[in-house]
Structure 1
Amino acid sequence: MTYKHLRLITLILIVFCNQKAISQYSYKEIVAFSSKIDFSEKKIDSILSSVKIKDAKYAQIAHNFSFFHYKKTKNYDLAIKYGKIEVTILDNLNLVNKKHTNALYNLGKFYLFKKKYQKAIQFFEKAINSNAYPKRVAQSYCQIGNCLYKKGDYYKSINHYLKGIPLLEKHGTKRSILVQYTQLSYCCYKMNTQESTKLGLHYLKKGDSLINNTSSLNLGNVAIHSFHTGIANLYSNPYVKDYKKAKVYYFKILKNSLKEKDSNIVANAYMNIGELYLDLKNDSSMYFFNKSIKYDIMEKAYLNETHRNIATYFKRNNNYIKALSHIKKAISYCFKVKKNKNINSLSVEKILNTRDKRSIIVSLKTKTEILLQLYNSTQEKEYLQKAIDNVNLTNRIVNILINYSTEANTKYLWRKEISETFNLGIYTAYLLNDSKLMFELMEKNKAFLLALNINENIKLTNLPNEVSIKNNVFKKDIFQLESETNTYKASKKKDSLFDLKVSYQNFKDSIQKIYPQFSNQNNDIQQISFNQVKSNLNKNDIKLYYTLNTSNVDSNKQSMLGLLIANNKDIRFKIKNIDSVLLGITEYKKLISKPINQKQELARFKKVSYSLYNHLFPTKEIKDLIKNKNISIISDVSLENIPFEAFNTSATDLRYLVNDCNISYTYSSSFSEFNKNRDRKTNTDIAVFAPVNFKNTELSSLEKTEKEAAVISNLIGGDSFTNSNATKENFVHKTSNAKIIHLATHANASNNPSIQFFTNDLKLHELYTYKNNADLVVLSACETNIGELKQGEGVLNLARGFFHSGANAVVSSTWKINDASSSYIMKEFYSNLKNKESKSEALNNAKRTYLKNHSLSEQSPYYWASFILIGDTSPVFTTNYLLYILPILLGLFIFFIFFKKKG
């Protein structure tokens, strides 16, 4: 009889005689013993209750039983139950040691296996705070990254990996380091940006070096295959497209996994190869997809992506019935529901805990495309209604993901994803001849996050002052560090930024518990209805929407749709020859951004701008309708920074559209309605800033702006800050209660746009924590409407920054402006405002006056068309009729008294 057998028999006897003695045995011995004794929950509770002293040994017993159910029975509920007992005892004993950190980490892991990601994150964070086991701390950061990846919060996930991996490189095993390199690469792949692709490949190359330089590294087949899959995935994505390298890795994985008879890895390899061949438009892809399904019969881990790819294959080959069948299967497998289950009724928790959120959104978008193509081939309208239902489902899911994401970049990512689906919905509504539905979907696709951010700022003002101040300090510090830190490069500042964001999130969580009204922002953003918009329009007002659809759902790869809304009618229209229009827009931008001095250039400008006019106002009815009207344009990103005012409306001569109508721009009708109803209190009419000269000698002097500032101040009254008084500090402290803010200076449209003051500049991110109450902000500076494009949201530029900080309307520039002509237009603009013209009338009349008083090349759009009005168009200064009514009433009262006495 061996010692092991003797020990086992002894253990059996001890357990029967004295349950307390079980504490000296490890969970491995308990596992061995479990074949003889059933360690049910009741049995374990009996053993634990028999132990009188609740000390560290008792915690160890709980630990052993926790691990027994984790390893042996896979009963994670019991693993959690006994893991919590272990943690409670260690907490009561105040034993913050290695075992304490380890126990918290284990609980996080058990919740992760149960797909309770938020609960898992809570315990991983506790393990980090326990901080007595460096390896587990490092792993906890990475596991939080894993949870966030599964929740779809990709940017925050990457931040946690980048926090954990350097620690793991110091304290972890080489195998654990390689595993986290791989996991990080998967997140980078799903994020699918150029930066994330570079980051993923960087860490995978480090992993490759780790493998090649470590002869005794026992990684295991699964880790190696996962690592190679990560490399192949990134080589195959749109930013690399090295299909040859990707193919080598995928086939290597397939060959080895077939030898090892690992059906899960085999299924994944076949699916990836099939997707690679599908991208290459190779029909062999179907062979690999079918193979993947065959091997994925047990775990069904990849059936969602496999069926989505098969659906794409059949869609491409015009077999839409089969394509629809497979995409339905893909969506069912995504959510792990039966095909006849109503996915619209899925709970928020079910959606948040569903694996691979991006695959879900892609599948739903694919389904919408297939339904549209089925309509195009059959003309059966039921497919259109199903497409709209699918768009609404996608919108619900994305709104949930946005609401539960805490990183701004992740929210922008989801807005980009839903934007493409909204465009499909808009096309569907056009086919249904439904203007109301077109409008609703166009509105959903605009400036949603801007409204959310402003709404949060408003809510903060209703909280106690100390809370608002602390929140603002957090945001300022975060934005500042973000502007100084490379997104993905490790540094001390990067670590500081990470820690600051964690502290800020904890702060926000705490104030949401104390002040529940601060949470659930989305519920407060109401979309204006189609009927409301129509009823709000005067007889001379028109709203004009444009949207570009890049999905191939009809004979063209791209299509642009328009919707005109007047108070008594609406017109849906489709713009023809869209490829020609997009080329024309590019050329138009070049032509208007410089003076037109040569006859050849002028002739070309007339032709291009007239062509755009005819395409974007495609019917005589529309052309006639807009004459002498106030037009508010809500454009697609493809038309961003295109001044319609400079379109040529004459086939034989040159007549600008600005001569026929007043033109303004807005992000969306819902945003405008939401924004104009904000409570704005001011105590000065205007604050003008014109540095003229700059301490930074590289910046040229703006001599004309000093006179511009003087003229405006004389016209309007208020405060004027010029030369050395035009400082950033004065701007921040002196403009919060001004009705108009005017900035005549330099601006920079780089990755982080900024506007220049006498000594230093103010960055875009600083506007997010600055507050104003302005009815109008005028940015008399270069390229203040230029910035980073975010599909589904718009451009992150200085104009948007001022809306974020409180403005009701902004005048900004779309290219480098001319100092002299700008000052001329500004003088006329403010004269018109003073005369109580609407903002739109004031700016458009200023442009007309400029054109009337200038000739030849000075009439080039370069000189006058750059400034555009965004937002509310109503007058800044209105007549106070009480000043007239009160004296009349007083006179009537005196008259009445006089005659009464006389009588």
Structure 2
Amino acid sequence: MEVLKLLQFDRNLPLHEKNVFYEWKALFNGSLTYFKNSFILIVLIFSGSISAQNSNIFEEKINLNVDRFTENPTAENLKKLEGFDKNISHSINGLKDKSELLAFVILKSNLGYYQNQFNKKQQAISSYEKAWQLYQKNRLSNYDIIEYCLKPLGNLYTIIGDFDNAENIIKQYYYIATQTNNLQQQYAAVLNLSNVYQNTGRINDAIALLEKTIRSQNLTDLQKGNLYNNLGTNYFLTTKFNKMIPYAYENAEKAFLKAISLLEKDKSQHMALANTYRNLSKLKLQRNDAKMALVYFEKARNLFNKNSSNDPRNKSEFLFDEANLFFKTGKLKESAVLITQIFKNLIPSFDNKNAELPNKNLLYADTMLLDAFDLQAAIYTIQNQPKKALECYGLSFHIEELFQSLLVYENSKIISQLRNRNRTEKCIAIYESLYQKDNQITHLENAFLLAEKTKSAVLKQALINSSKQSTLQKKIAQQLQNESNLILKEQQKGALADIVKINNSIKKQNELMLQLKQSASATESNPNSGIILSDLYAKLEKDNAIMVEYFSGINKMYSFTIVSNKIYLNSFNNNTHASVKIVQFIDFFNDAYTITNSPADYNKYSNMAYKLLKLPVNSAYKNLLIVSDGLLNFLPFEALITKESATTNFAKMNYLLNDYNIGYQNSAQFYLEANRAKRNSVATVLGIFPIFEKTPFELTFSKDEMQSIKEKFKGKYFDNSGATFGNFKNNANLYSILHLSTHASSGDIDSPASIKFSDQEVMYSELYHLNIHPDLVVLSACETGIGKLFKSEGAMSIARGFQFAGAQNLLFSLWKVNDYTTSVFMDLFYKNIKENQSYIEANANAKRDFLKNKNISNAKKSPYYWSAFVYYGNIENPPSTNYLLYGLILLLGIGLFIGLKLFLSKKKRRS
């Protein structure tokens, strides 16, 4: 039961560096050969038992075709079996006999197994999914569905990066194995789940799960050996991106050596031992001990060669480790030769005599191919062949797009996108060096377009797909999200979580996911094609705006400044020395007193951050649009100090706010497409004001805020007990401005961002399917723009929830805001909107008016109080209520009337 609780970790996935996965087949008791032979035997026995029970001809026909194929499993015969499956699949809906249905399950499971063997992973996944769907829907039994369907399906999901589905399947069969007291399958689930946690960056979760299992379970030496190998791998990963974990190298090496001592007791475990020695080789290589790295690799090679059943992917993984070893030791030619062999193994039709790289049309979603292309690109870069390196990376980007098309869940899509970041940074660096050589602006444009593709890519695609989904698809997607929310809420209860309830929701999720996959295949949109730069230039000129888009890499922070139909590229090292300046500035907003207690320090460190960020100066443009990245998502640019001064008067400091109206966007594409939304000429407001009277959460000045908005705009206003989530949902589509004055939280490692209504607290993901299209959403609450941060994709915040639901223009906060000053700011903001100012201008002027207000004390004019609210959205022109224009039209009309009257009068006199 303790291990079962460990399987309920938070599903909101944190950052990770790299997808690392060791083929599941080598880690279980029973290799692929054992699985294959056992499978054939079970099929024969089972088909014989069915025949003995007078099964019908249809069932016998299925079993006969399966038997024929398993006797001679070739690629040609696999096509015949797939053809047979396709021909009879239309009959499945009419079947009621359970033995016939089970024969179908066995057929699909066999197909899945051999499709995977012949490197047809997506077809294999589809076959396994159909087998599981049939087995579950018809409540079949007398078949080891875990061993022959769910385990391989879960591991295939992991290989393609579909981590949410992998976690769901693994947790489901762990639950089944627990109910049936199958210790072997429980162990397999733990091993596989630790791989999922490892791949999604949840290293601490993986370590906790593995160590708990090793201590608490009655395991064989072989099982413990495999668990120790995984444990070592997770400790090894902590050495790459978290230097704060003590003794990470030592713990990793200790775990690997322990694994070897256990695995050596079973002479048949060549692959498991080979994997462990390969891991030790990587560990030594990272510690610059090339000599020992080679020693351990040779041991791995000897063991690997003893296994005659290695499939092309296994061989390619081994070749890649060897190629990487050559690369790290400076043997580039030897490394390139092995990479070519990997391409030949994974793409049999590839002929390197005619081309150095495989054709784009031959590629498919496989992490091994990704690793091979990236390593080859690194070789080309060192060999000073930048164009070939870019070609290689381009093929990797294509494979990532193929991965995206296979995924359903948001978390998995985000993690898949994160792999693109390192690759994108390397491409930008190449384009920067090319520009420095030949001064061709196309290099900067290409670099910008690559960076732009990483910006909120998952959110972009979700909005595109949502616009094309049928009513049924939207309903299934909403139900799927609801089940995810139920699981997360139950998991937040910790030790009190209801495991049965979680399992039921996971089971329901799996059913809905398969339904969505089947219905979405025909309507799923192609990957986003990007933007047209000429359109971006024209819109910025029309809006009198400059755009600065950032890309935060591992080595450098890049900024693209787009102004006057040109792109300029700046960069600075993203090392500790530079990034600390950004962190020091953001830290001033942790509480209300840091700035007021030391205005001189604020002046100093804010100006340091300003200089580092390379923002445009002395510009004739009125508006500045920021596309942030990384920690910059939490930085209030308008509060930056452009020129240091000794004043302690906050109203007189030299803020960037004095130079521009500042707005923000998720991406340049969001900005370009925002002109589709037209601001209503007569604004109406839906106001939500829970107030929380007579509770510790009371928002005293929220009443004043509501009254102030009421005086300016018609609408519907819910306060106190009326400010329910239900009332908000039922009215949200009827008003042009949605205003929520309440409490919100950015969440933490275990809890997602949330917002409070009078009757419940709502997670950001519960807002996804509201399907709203307001002119503006105002989130007058704490931390509504803060949440778990994914570079490029942004924060998983309340603001994201509203964007996902369809809102394009938003005003939200970056930290905990003050009740009183918020009400004052909102009064000024809505006053400016009433005066027909654009939203970006209304926000900027509200801040300027706040600083000029003589009724506000100097302490309350600290940037902490006025710069919390940032505007994300379009720089739109206000609706046409221009009284000067109306006056001109009226004068013109009067002139025409007088002219007509004079003309008629003259005509009358002539007659």
2:480–2:513: 8 Å Cα contact kept in structure 1?
A: no
Alignment correspondent of 2:656: 657
Q: Note the alpha carbon deviations across 1:660-694, whole angstroms, 9 max, x for none.
A: 22211111011232344257879852222222234
How far off is 1:844 after superposition? Answer: 1.3
1:215-230, aligned counterparts within 5 Å? 229-230=229-230
Alignment correspondent of 1:826: 826
Q: SS of 2:733's equivalent?
A: coil
Answering whether residue 364 of structure 2 is matched by residue 351 of structure 1, we say: yes
Alignment correspondent of 1:646: 639
User: 2 CA distance for matches of 1:182 and 1:723?
Assistant: 50
1:535–1:567: 8 Å Cα contact kept in structure 2?
A: no
Alignment correspondent of 1:390: 392
User: 1 CA distance for matches of 2:91 and 2:746?
Assistant: 58
Q: CA 1:798–1:185 in structure 2 vs 1: closer, same or farther (change >3 Å)?
A: closer
Question: Which AA in structure 1 matches 2:834?
Answer: K
Q: SS of 1:638's equivalent?
A: helix
Question: Which AA in structure 1 matches 2:105?
Answer: L
2:712–2:831: 8 Å Cα contact kept in structure 1?
A: yes
Answering whether residue 485 of structure 2 is matched by residue 479 of structure 1, we say: yes
How far off is 1:813 after superposition? Answer: 0.8
Alignment correspondent of 2:440: none
Alignment correspondent of 2:19: none
User: 2 CA distance for matches of 1:731 and 1:776?
Assistant: 15
Q: Note the alpha carbon deviations across 1:767-822, whole angstroms, 9 max, x for none.
A: 11213221111111111111011233111101111111222211111111122222
Question: Which AA in structure 2 matches 1:533?
Answer: L
How far off is 1:509 after superposition? Answer: 4.4
Alignment correspondent of 1:673: 672
Q: SS of 1:454's equivalent?
A: helix
Alignment correspondent of 2:533: 530
Q: SS of 1:632's equivalent?
A: strand
Alignment correspondent of 1:424: 426
Q: CA 1:581–1:190 in structure 2 vs 1: closer, same or farther (change >3 Å)?
A: closer
User: 2 CA distance for matches of 1:429 and 1:163?
Assistant: 47
Answering whether residue 627 of structure 2 is matched by residue 609 of structure 1, we say: no
Question: Which AA in structure 1 matches 2:364?
Answer: I
1:534–1:568: 8 Å Cα contact kept in structure 2?
A: yes
2:783–2:814: 8 Å Cα contact kept in structure 1?
A: yes
User: 2 CA distance for matches of 1:597 and 1:191?
Assistant: 36
Q: Note the alpha carbon deviations across 1:559-597, whole angstroms, 9 max, x for none.
A: 112111012433211225743231112121222333457
Question: Which AA in structure 1 matches 2:637?
Answer: F
Alignment correspondent of 2:500: 492
Q: SS of 1:703's equivalent?
A: coil
Question: Which AA in structure 2 matches 1:640?
Answer: N
Alignment correspondent of 1:740: 737
User: 2 CA distance for matches of 1:176 and 1:255?
Assistant: 23
How far off is 1:891 after superposition? Answer: 4.1
1:838-877, aligned counterparts within 5 Å? 838-853=838-853, 856-877=858-879
Alignment correspondent of 1:108: 109
Q: SS of 1:836's equivalent?
A: coil
Q: SS of 1:735's equivalent?
A: helix
Q: CA 1:482–1:858 in structure 2 vs 1: closer, same or farther (change >3 Å)?
A: closer
Alignment correspondent of 1:541: 545
Alignment correspondent of 1:252: 261
Alignment correspondent of 2:286: 279
How far off is 1:83 after superposition? Answer: 8.9
Aligned mate of 2:509, from 501, 517, 526: 501
User: 2 CA distance for matches of 1:708 and 1:736?
Assistant: 22
User: 2 CA distance for matches of 1:592 and 1:228?
Assistant: 44
1:719-758, aligned counterparts within 5 Å? 719-750=716-747, 751-758=751-758
Answering whether residue 638 of structure 2 is matched by residue 632 of structure 1, we say: no
Alignment correspondent of 2:175: 166
Q: CA 1:732–1:253 in structure 2 vs 1: closer, same or farther (change >3 Å)?
A: same
How far off is 1:481 after superposition? Answer: 4.1
User: 2 CA distance for matches of 1:73 and 1:154?
Assistant: 30
Aligned residues between the structures = 816
User: 1 CA distance for matches of 2:462 and 2:202?
Assistant: 24
Q: Note the alpha carbon deviations across 1:194-241, whole angstroms, 9 max, x for none.
A: 3651475268538952438xxxxxxxx7x7865664454345432884
Alignment correspondent of 1:790: 790
How far off is 1:544 after superposition? Answer: 0.4
How far off is 1:447 after superposition? Answer: 0.7
Aligned mate of 2:696, from 694, 698, 704: 698
User: 2 CA distance for matches of 1:490 and 1:752?
Assistant: 19
Q: CA 1:825–1:178 in structure 2 vs 1: closer, same or farther (change >3 Å)?
A: closer
User: 2 CA distance for matches of 1:666 and 1:686?
Assistant: 23
1:101-250, aligned counterparts within 5 Å? 101=102, 104-115=105-116, 116-117=123-124, 118-133=126-141, 135-139=143-147, 140-171=149-180, 174-194=183-203, 197-198=206-207, 201=210, 204-205=213-214, 208-211=217-220, 229-238=229-238, 241=248, 242-250=251-259
Q: SS of 1:421's equivalent?
A: helix
User: 1 CA distance for matches of 2:216 and 2:56?
Assistant: 39
Mean Cα displacement is larger for which, 712-721 or 167-176? Answer: 167-176
User: 1 CA distance for matches of 2:806 and 2:67?
Assistant: 55
Aligned mate of 1:454, from 457, 463, 473: 463
User: 2 CA distance for matches of 1:693 and 1:614?
Assistant: 43
| TM-score scaled by length of structure 2 | 0.80
1:446–1:792: 8 Å Cα contact kept in structure 2?
A: yes
Question: Which AA in structure 2 matches 1:351?
Answer: Y
1:708–1:826: 8 Å Cα contact kept in structure 2?
A: yes
Answering whether residue 801 of structure 2 is matched by residue 807 of structure 1, we say: no
| TM-score scaled by length of structure 1 | 0.80
User: 2 CA distance for matches of 1:108 and 1:762?
Assistant: 41
1:232–1:245: 8 Å Cα contact kept in structure 2?
A: yes
Q: SS of 2:388's equivalent?
A: helix
How far off is 1:307 after superposition? Answer: 4.3
Alignment correspondent of 1:440: 449
* Unaligned segments of structure 1, at least 5 residues: 1-25, 33-50, 213-220, 375-379, 551-557
2:788–2:796: 8 Å Cα contact kept in structure 1?
A: yes
Q: Note the alpha carbon deviations across 1:21-63, whole angstroms, 9 max, x for none.
A: xxxxx9979999xxxxxxxxxxxxxxxxxx9x99548855863
Aligned mate of 2:706, from 706, 709, 725: 709
How far off is 1:446 after superposition? Answer: 0.4
User: 1 CA distance for matches of 2:877 and 2:196?
Assistant: 50
Alignment correspondent of 1:573: 570
* Unaligned segments of structure 2, at least 5 residues: 1-38, 46-50, 117-122, 436-442, 647-652
User: 2 CA distance for matches of 1:423 and 1:791?
Assistant: 12
Answering whether residue 390 of structure 2 is matched by residue 403 of structure 1, we say: no
How far off is 1:711 after superposition? Answer: 1.4
1:63–1:82: 8 Å Cα contact kept in structure 2?
A: no
1:776–1:876: 8 Å Cα contact kept in structure 2?
A: no
Q: CA 1:301–1:679 in structure 2 vs 1: closer, same or farther (change >3 Å)?
A: same
User: 2 CA distance for matches of 1:836 and 1:879?
Assistant: 8
Q: SS of 1:664's equivalent?
A: strand
1:664–1:840: 8 Å Cα contact kept in structure 2?
A: yes
Question: Which AA in structure 1 matches 2:359?
Answer: S
1:102–1:133: 8 Å Cα contact kept in structure 2?
A: no
2:165–2:510: 8 Å Cα contact kept in structure 1?
A: no
User: 2 CA distance for matches of 1:814 and 1:780?
Assistant: 11
User: 2 CA distance for matches of 1:732 and 1:138?
Assistant: 42
Query: What RMSD over aligned residues (CA atoms) do the two structures have, in Å?
Result: 4.0
Q: SS of 2:777's equivalent?
A: strand
Q: CA 1:791–1:339 in structure 2 vs 1: closer, same or farther (change >3 Å)?
A: farther
Q: Note the alpha carbon deviations across 1:527-556, whole angstroms, 9 max, x for none.
A: 222222112112731000122221xxxxxx
User: 2 CA distance for matches of 1:890 and 1:411?
Assistant: 59
How far off is 1:877 after superposition? Answer: 4.0
1:840–1:873: 8 Å Cα contact kept in structure 2?
A: yes
Mean Cα displacement is larger for which, 729-738 or 135-144? Answer: 135-144
Question: Which AA in structure 1 matches 2:617?
Answer: K
How far off is 1:69 after superposition? Answer: 4.6
